[in-house]
A = this chain, B = another copy of it.
Amino acid sequence: MFDGAIADLVGELGRLPGVGPKSAQRIAFHILQAEEQDVRHLAEAMIAVKDKVRFCVDCGNVSEEERCKVCSDNRRDRSMICVVEEPKDVVAVERTREYRGIYHVLGGAISPIDGIGPDDLRVRELMTRLADGTVSEVVIATDPNLEGEATATYLARLLSPLGMTVSRLASGLPVGGDLEYADEVTLGRAFSGRRQVSG
């Protein structure tokens, strides 16, 4: 029903993650009625991301330079490496301001269903980075789901002969949540990971 250009845009927008046909149409009409300058900014920002952003040669995080901000920051503790699935996980960990080490971005998680094995992830690069003995602790911070757990188990086994501390982020009740609404797996983890409090 729409004329060509709008139909094209609705189609292109509908290919973005989390954007269904209705959202695509709403966004397309928003763009149609937006200031031309704003639309150009958005279009240019998309192209700029493709043109400028690459991946850090050390950790695999996104970066506009050869090395990402974390890897090129001399104040970071290079004896501790946090292994995450995706660059956005680096953002999440950085937001806590708890971690002062460096990262290693795998580029996904092991998922036999999707045909993703260790060789499709940056596991070999991780082993190379660990080879020089600078790193004394590896924190595995993959997602607390099936694929993330499988990846964590695989990495833990792979790293155990290297003699460094290997840890995994704690599972348990989310802060601010209600105990009664926690699923049984999470609640079970919270029990098995319980910590003694000083009386």
Contact = CB atoms under 8 A, between A and B. Distances in A.
A70 to B, nearest CB: 9
A66 interface: no
A38 B53 contact: no
Interface string A48-59: 111111000000
Chain B CB within 10 Å, residue with most, of A2, A23, A44: A2
A18 interface: yes
What is the count of identical protomers in the complex? 2
A185 interface: no
B63 A3 contact: yes
Contact of A86 (B12, B29, B36, B47): B29
Interface residues of A, number: 56
Interface stretch (A88-96, A134-142, A186-194): A88-96
A82 to B, nearest CB: 14
Given A8-B45, A39-B47, A32 B62 contact: yes
A36 B150 CA distance: 32
Nearest to A42: B12
A76 B61 CA distance: 58
A29 B49 CA distance: 9
Nearest to A95: B1
A26 interface: yes
B18 A53 contact: no
